[in-house]
Amino acid sequence: MQFTDFSLDKRLLDSLKHMGISTPTEIQQQALPIALAGKDLMASSKTGSGKTLAFLLPAMQRIISSRPLSKKDPRVLILLPTRELAQQVYGQLRLLVANTQYKAISVLGGENFNDQAKALSRDPHFIVATPGRIADHLQQRHLFLNGLELLILDEADRMLDLGFAEQLKAINVAADHKRRQTLMFSATLDHDSINDIATTLLNNPSHVAIGASYAEHKDIEQKVFFADHLDHKQALLSHILKQPEHKQTIVFTATRADTDRLATLLAEQGFSTAALSGDLKQSARNQIMDQFSRGQQQVLITTDVASRGLDLVNVSLVVNFDMPKFAEEYVHRIGRTGRAGAKGVAISFVGPKDWQNFLQVQTFLRKNFNFSTIDGLPAKFSGLSAKADKAVGHKVAAKAKAKTKAKSAVKAKAAPKRDKRFITGVDIGDAPMRRKAKPTAIVEQDIFDKNSQDLDD
Ligand code: ADP
Ligand code: MG
């Protein structure tokens, strides 16, 4: 099957030709007919399998081939969980729009609000955005969605994890009319949290799932190493980065503080390194991504802010320096390599503090990993029995409790003013954020410091 077999406008086929793309991937083959027929769709397929074009092409086709519902309102709104991903999708959309008379803009957290209001007032047909910022513009009445024809949610499950359910609902209400079509995409759409929002946002959707989210990604070789402590992890990482077979590498750490510390250390060891974290200014984030995507650094150290969607062709190795807190993020993190048929390697370090998260990953993937070793860097740690695991849990909890006690003692002595750094509900951008309640906050704080979730808006 070829793209020419779909009833796509010639201009779209020309753009695809320019991109060197002729044969649709499996998700594209299955999603396109449904989306082109105007039906709502929930679609999942593995990382790097071409989901972006599976929604951009039908979106373009709909706009080209149908009359607008409104002359002023945007016709297509594409929502993504992070700014980097939104920028990437915007870049792909622009290639398709360039051939037409349609206008596309991006509206991202961290960028100038008034400039965005101006751009919105020029009645773009397509908006690519992060949900917090769009909700803000809706509230300010810079934007109306009564004429919205197509709402697309990429990495929808991640937007929910980041606490954007309210914003998504507000957007849904603003665009609540019978002729709206809604598409939802991710590599992991099969967890519970998605069902509620899907019922709210989608109307009798078709479902397409190419492979299960836990199915092994054949192009990614997965390896795990035991690690005793931080120094051991660092030694393992240095050793692995010295291997000449890897092109670019993305290293995921649990917290922003770790990202910076590790980047400094690797730079001292002579690796060309960049660190991307959500608390940087947007201009710095853009610059880092731009340089890394042009191959100026060998290693990018980051948090889950970069786990989703990013398509960087030269990344052949992903390292989980710390295991992710949510098992599905493992699937997305390792999916930064092995894209579009290329081969990649994913390496994870598992220390005592990672053990629980590692077990969750195994359960999620329905897989039992065999641990690898590196000569000269053996680990004493070899996993925890359920009993020992509990004991570590208690120890960590007790330590955290002691810390909290010490903290509250300090607080009691200090003036009763609230420390601004601990105001919740305010994040790195300027959209109101609602963080998920943490059921075992004390234990988690010890393992992952308070910045462990790298939120975006
Ligand atoms: P996903 O969203 O499923 O993770 P992307 O949409 O980011 O994947 O696509 C991954 C890569 O595959 C991109 O570089 C994209 O240009 C490329 N790609 C998409 N569709 C095709 C296709 N039909 N043939 C070849 N390459 C494709
Ligand atoms: Mg994607």
Give the pLDDT of residue 389. Answer: 65
* Whether residue 338 has its Cβ less than 6 Å from ligand 1: no
pLDDT by residue (tens digit) across 168-190? Answer: 999 999 999 889 999 999 999 97
Which 3 state secondary structure label does DSSP give 301?
strand
Query: What's the rounded mean pLDDT across residues 331-356?
Result: 97
Query: What's the rounded mean pLDDT across residues 25-49?
Result: 97
Q: With beta carbons less than 8 A apart as the criterion, state whether 456 and 83 touch.
A: yes
76-79 and 206-210: which strand pairing? unpaired
Q: Which of 231-240, 360-369, 392-401 has the lowest mean pLDDT?
A: 392-401
Give the pLDDT of residue 415. Answer: 34
The alpha carbon of 326 and the centre of ligand 1 are apart by a number of angstroms equal to 25
The alpha carbon of 79 and the centre of ligand 2 are apart by a number of angstroms equal to 12
Contacts of 284 (CB under 8 A, 6+ apart): none
Nearest atom (ligand 1) to Cα of 340? 12
pLDDT of residue 137 exceeding 80, the answer is yes
Q: Average pLDDT over the chain, rounded to whole? A: 87
Beta-bridge mates of residue 404:
none
Supply 221's token pair: 């070789």
The ligand with the least distance to the CA atom of 93 is: 1
Query: What's the rounded mean pLDDT across residues 84-111?
Result: 96
Task: Report the share of the chain in percent with pLDDT over 90.
Answer: 77
**For ligand 1, mutation pick of 12, 46, 52 (most atoms within 8 Å of CB):** 52
| Closest by CA position to 316, among listed 341, 342, 296 | 342
Q: What share of the chain is helix, strand, coil (3-state, %, to 5)?
A: 45, 15, 40
CATH number of the structural domain 220-386: 3.40.50.300
pLDDT of residue 39 exceeding 70, the answer is yes
| Closest by CA position to 438, among listed 424, 427, 426, 428 | 424
Residue 453 pLDDT class (50, 70, 90 cuts) = very low
* Whether residue 23 has its Cβ less than 6 Å from ligand 1: yes
Which of the two residues, 158 and 454, has the higher pLDDT score? 158
Q: b or e along 63-85 (b: 16 or more beta carbons within 10 Å of the residue's beta carbon)?
A: bbeeeeeeeebbbbbbbbbbbbb
* Whether residue 259 has its Cβ less than 6 Å from ligand 1: no
Which 3 state secondary structure label does DSSP give 294?
coil
Q: N- to C-terminal Cα distance for the chain?
A: 39
Q: Which of 277-281, 332-336, 441-445 has the lowest mean pLDDT?
A: 441-445
* Whether residue 311 has its Cβ less than 6 Å from ligand 1: yes
pLDDT of residue 441 exceeding 80, the answer is no
Query: What's the rounded mean pLDDT across residues 40-58?
Result: 97
pLDDT by residue (tens digit) across 284-300? Answer: 999 999 999 999 999 99
pLDDT of residue 390 exceeding 90, the answer is no
Residue type, 140: Q
* Whether residue 293 has its Cβ less than 6 Å from ligand 1: no
- What CA–CA distance (Å, rounded) separates 314 from 334? 14
- What CA–CA distance (Å, rounded) separates 412 from 393? 28
pTM, two decimal places:
0.85
Measured over the CA atoms of residue 381, residue 353, residue 329 and residue 204, the dihedral's sign is positive
The alpha carbon of 396 and the centre of ligand 1 are apart by a number of angstroms equal to 43
pLDDT of residue 348 exceeding 80, the answer is yes
pLDDT by residue (tens digit) across 6-20? Answer: 999 999 999 999 999
Q: With beta carbons less than 8 A apart as the criterion, state whether 371 and 225 touch.
A: yes
Question: Domain-by-domain residue ranges, the chain?
Answer: 3-210, 220-386, 421-451
3-210 has which fold? Rossmann fold (3.40.50)
Let me know how long the chain is. 457
